[in-house]
Structure 1
Amino acid sequence: MSHNSLFYSILRAYVRFWHNRIFYRSVEIKNFPKNISPTTPLLIVTNHQNTLMDALAVVLNVGSRQPYFLTRADIFKKDFVRKLLMSLKMLPVYRLRDGMDEMQQNDEIFQTCVDILSSGGTLAAFPEGNHGVQYHLRPFKKGLARIAFKAETEHDWNIGLQVLPCGLYYTHCQKMGEKLVLNFGEPFKVSDFQAAYEQNQPRTLTQITRRMADEIKNLMLHFDDLPHHDTLKWLTDTEIRKEGDLITNVRKKATELEKLRLNNTDEYTTLMEETEKKSKELAQQGIEAEIYGQPKLSFFELSLKTIGLILTSPIALYGWLNSVIPYSIPFSVTKKLKDKQFSSAIRIVLFALVTFPFVWLIQWGIVWGFTDFKTAGLYALSLPFTGYFAHRWARWWSAATQQWKLR
């Protein structure tokens, strides 16, 4: 069973460029294991916070591996989306809400997963079974554990299947220009559970599922205190621009806050109340926690930064004027979505595959019609560079104006 295809490689490279370089300010891949053979079967498990973007984050950033991904079936309904997802090796998983007749198709899908793993392939999935915008790991389903044990038992525990946990962290789930971290943990072998499984299957299914959950929770940003979720997120956001490792900084802050909650209830409650009040005051001024928490620039540094932004504003304006149509269309489309968490996924698909390539092609054709081929060629070359610069410039300008307000 072959798991690599040329079309997949080309499409993935193209989408990865838009995902890693354009849509996100930065994508950091931490601790992805390089000592596992490409032919070793691998089950990648992650937290699920950001719908299709979680799947893309993994699919696009696991080296040369071409993983198959289990994804909720309802997003496969539209023909265009279905073809795109299937081309990226995403497999539909049916839930009870999809109907009992549809649920029966899972037997075939799960056997396909077993075959993929048995032949040295890579499978990735979300054990939570659903997505949620909060930074909180929800209870795991046992379906992946059953697939893992079935793959091993069908081959007398000889395939060497490993489970690779990963914690995904977004500085913001729906916004463009944010940061994304894929924080991989240490892989562990399914065969390590052989003796326990042969003695008590239900208990061992629970054990390996709990192991997955514990590993992922230690790799992601997780809050137990959901009533104060937004306040806790604001406090961890103040760590985003500080020196050091991003995910380490925010998790360290979250750990400190959790210890305070458990050891000093009164002080914790006071902190939550004061932070909520402070965050609302700053929000009214248009100041983000990320900017508020970063080291303050000196008057000279901030002045120099502002002058540089003013001098480069004509380039940003040129880029904005040539990109405003393809940039705006996806945002108009996603305004009507009932589940706003799908907005970023739909936008990146429209950006990469529809609006920018086609609208820019039309604009290039118009310029060519009124000028000559050389001028039109230079215009075409300027579009991606100035369009990208315009988006970044807007964020830099926003940060600078917020920093002036804080002086």
Structure 2
Amino acid sequence: MNPLLYALYQLLKVIVRLALRIFYPSKKYIHAERLRFDYPAILVSNHPNTLLDPLTVAAKTQKLVFFLANAGLFKSAFGNWFFNTFFCIPVTRPQDTNGQKKVSNEDSFARANEHLTRGGILYIAPEGTSEMERRLRPLKTGTARIALSTEKKNDYKLGMAIIPVGLTYYRPRICGSRQIVNVGQPIFPQQYAEAYEADPIQATRSLTADLENEMRTLLIDTKDETEDQRLRLLESIRQNDSPLAGEERFRREIALLQEMRRISDPLFFEQLDTYGQLLKKYEIRDQAVAKEGKAGGLSLMTVLALPVYVYGWINNYLPTQIPVWIDRKMDLYPGYTATVKILGALITIPLFYYLQMKLVGWLFGAGWKWPYLLSLPVTAWVVWKISGRLRNWKVRRRYQSLSAEQKKELADLRKNVHPGN
């Protein structure tokens, strides 16, 4: 490989890891050690968050990763050069042709076979499309076809693996939210050799089904949006009463989903939905009901930090809010929101920090430039922390403004739907 391209890949990998860590500061990798291996492999994951999904997986993988990408990205001359140069292999989906011609990916599959035979790593999103939802859609057979055909061409001695990864986002469009990256056990296609020789189509389906079943255990896999919203509310109730973090919280949420599915009483779900609707109507959160609006004032530390908050808000406004404005103006599919914000911030933050530093040096003297520059990321963090406290304070204030009857109704509903009751 071209050493310059390899060096650029490693540099971009560092930038991506830093950007993802800032955007999803509560990111938790489960079994990250499974992304350290010494055999050819196909990495697969669910695909709710467009470009961030492959980047999240590749950023933690030790080896260089190639990507099986939507052929639409290669249509322009620049796109064709860029994505072919930077480790992507095009694949055409039936929806990309509008049914006007038969889809053939023989050349792409051949490139994938060759890459894996050489010991390479390939990322595939086997759902085929990206939908911002917490559930796994049925997998396409392309991953299994590539894996089995590659092993067959190597007399089933290559020893390649398919490594499933489950991605669970909690508020994927919002900077500062949680993310779980759960890496599953590798699946070795050579174990399907006998079945593939006897019936390639059935073996491909069997491998796809096994992969899908494994992936469903790695993420929050709700049936529909209604079930997802109910689970979020129940988990919020449980979290506010018994706080957990990281993997423990994730495991509890999976168990809570199974517990919720065993409930057959329609009254339970009617009360749960009513509770959620009232929280939305009053613009409050379960935390306020759980604590009965206690600690309604701001802490002394928060009050003392308000001047720093104002300074940070003013000086970080343009570099952090321009990407948000761009995302709103572009009005893209919501799955691109986080991507646009991160890519935009990678440009606006260095640019405006530099320009503002130069302006401060011009206004107040060169000696102020570097202290000012160093203050920007520090006060940006203060703004983020204080903003969360101010939001919680406003929620508590709204709860305190409710009548005694409204508070009692909320408390009774919460007690009736409390997990474990």
TM-score, normalised with respect to structure 1? 0.87
- 2:169–2:179 Cα contact (<8 Å) kept: yes
Partner of 1:31: 31
Please list, as runs of the form range in 1=range in 2, the aligned pairs for 1:10-49 lying within 5 A after superposition: 10-20=11-21, 22-34=22-34, 37=37, 39-49=38-48
Deviation of the 1:28 alpha carbon: 0.7
Partner of 1:248: 251
Query: Which of the residues 321, 324, 349 maps onto 2:343?
Result: 349
Partner of 1:140: 139
For residues 86-108 of structure 1, what are the alpha-carbon distances to aligned partners after superposition, in whole Å with 9 as ceiling and x for unaligned? 67634443222333899867333
- Aligned partner of 1:331: which letter? V
| In structure 1, distance between residues paired with 2:48 and 2:352 | 32
Using a 3 Å threshold, how does the CA distance of structure 1 residues 320 and 90 change in structure 2: closer, same or farther? Answer: farther
- Higher deviation after alignment, 117-126 or 213-222: 117-126
Using a 3 Å threshold, how does the CA distance of structure 1 residues 35 and 145 change in structure 2: closer, same or farther? Answer: closer
Please list, as runs of the form range in 1=range in 2, the aligned pairs for 1:158-307 lying within 5 A after superposition: 158-239=157-238, 242-243=243-244, 245-260=248-263, 264=264, 267=265, 269-288=266-285, 291=287, 296=291, 306-307=299-300
Using a 3 Å threshold, how does the CA distance of structure 1 residues 91 and 27 change in structure 2: closer, same or farther? Answer: farther
Name the SS of the counterpart of 2:140 in structure 1. coil
Name the SS of the counterpart of 2:244 in structure 1. coil
| In structure 1, distance between residues paired with 2:2 and 2:374 | 38
- Higher deviation after alignment, 83-92 or 145-154: 83-92
Please list, as runs of the form range in 1=range in 2, the aligned pairs for 1:73-92 lying within 5 A after superposition: 73-75=71-73, 89-92=87-90
Deviation of the 1:278 alpha carbon: 1.2
- Give yes or no for the alignment of 1:391 onto 2:381: no
- Aligned partner of 2:283: which letter? G
- 2:231–2:256 Cα contact (<8 Å) kept: no
Deviation of the 1:248 alpha carbon: 0.6
Using a 3 Å threshold, how does the CA distance of structure 1 residues 139 and 273 change in structure 2: closer, same or farther? Answer: same
- 1:166–1:184 Cα contact (<8 Å) kept: yes
| In structure 1, distance between residues paired with 2:105 and 2:26 | 36
| In structure 1, distance between residues paired with 2:54 and 2:235 | 25
Using a 3 Å threshold, how does the CA distance of structure 1 residues 355 and 95 change in structure 2: closer, same or farther? Answer: same
Using a 3 Å threshold, how does the CA distance of structure 1 residues 348 and 35 change in structure 2: closer, same or farther? Answer: closer
Deviation of the 1:226 alpha carbon: 4.7
- 1:40–1:160 Cα contact (<8 Å) kept: yes
| In structure 1, distance between residues paired with 2:49 and 2:78 | 21
Q: Which of the two has higher C-alpha Rg?
A: 2
- Higher deviation after alignment, 397-406 or 172-181: 397-406
Deviation of the 1:389 alpha carbon: 2.4
| In structure 2, distance between residues paired with 1:105 and 1:378 | 58
| In structure 1, distance between residues paired with 2:324 and 2:316 | 13
- Give yes or no for the alignment of 1:131 onto 2:130: yes
- 1:59–1:67 Cα contact (<8 Å) kept: yes
Deviation of the 1:271 alpha carbon: 2.4
Number of aligned residue pairs: 393
Name the SS of the counterpart of 1:135 in structure 2. coil
| In structure 2, distance between residues paired with 1:237 and 1:116 | 45
For residues 63-107 of structure 1, what are the alpha-carbon distances to aligned partners after superposition, in whole Å with 9 as ceiling and x for unaligned? x22222223343566788888766763444322233389986733
| In structure 2, distance between residues paired with 1:227 and 1:122 | 37
Deviation of the 1:192 alpha carbon: 0.9
Partner of 1:94: 92
Query: Which of the residues 43, 52, 64 maps onto 1:66?
Result: 64
For residues 261-283 of structure 1, what are the alpha-carbon distances to aligned partners after superposition, in whole Å with 9 as ceiling and x for unaligned? xxx2xx1x322222222112112
- Aligned partner of 1:254: which letter? L
Partner of 2:415: none
Using a 3 Å threshold, how does the CA distance of structure 1 residues 79 and 247 change in structure 2: closer, same or farther? Answer: farther
Deviation of the 1:218 alpha carbon: 0.6
Name the SS of the counterpart of 2:374 in structure 1. helix
For residues 164-186 of structure 1, what are the alpha-carbon distances to aligned partners after superposition, in whole Å with 9 as ceiling and x for unaligned? 11111111122221001101111
Q: For structure 1, which runs of at least 5 residues remain unmatched after alignment? A: none
Deviation of the 1:232 alpha carbon: 3.2
| In structure 2, distance between residues paired with 1:340 and 1:381 | 33
Partner of 1:117: 116
- Aligned partner of 2:353: which letter? W
Root-mean-square deviation (Å): 2.9
Deviation of the 1:342 alpha carbon: 0.9
Using a 3 Å threshold, how does the CA distance of structure 1 residues 218 and 34 change in structure 2: closer, same or farther? Answer: closer
- Give yes or no for the alignment of 1:359 onto 2:352: yes
- Aligned partner of 1:344: which letter? A
| In structure 1, distance between residues paired with 2:326 and 2:102 | 31
- 1:172–1:179 Cα contact (<8 Å) kept: yes
- Aligned partner of 2:284: which letter? I
Q: For structure 2, which runs of at least 5 residues remain unmatched after alignment? A: 401-421
Deviation of the 1:385 alpha carbon: 1.6
Aligned identity (percent) is: 23
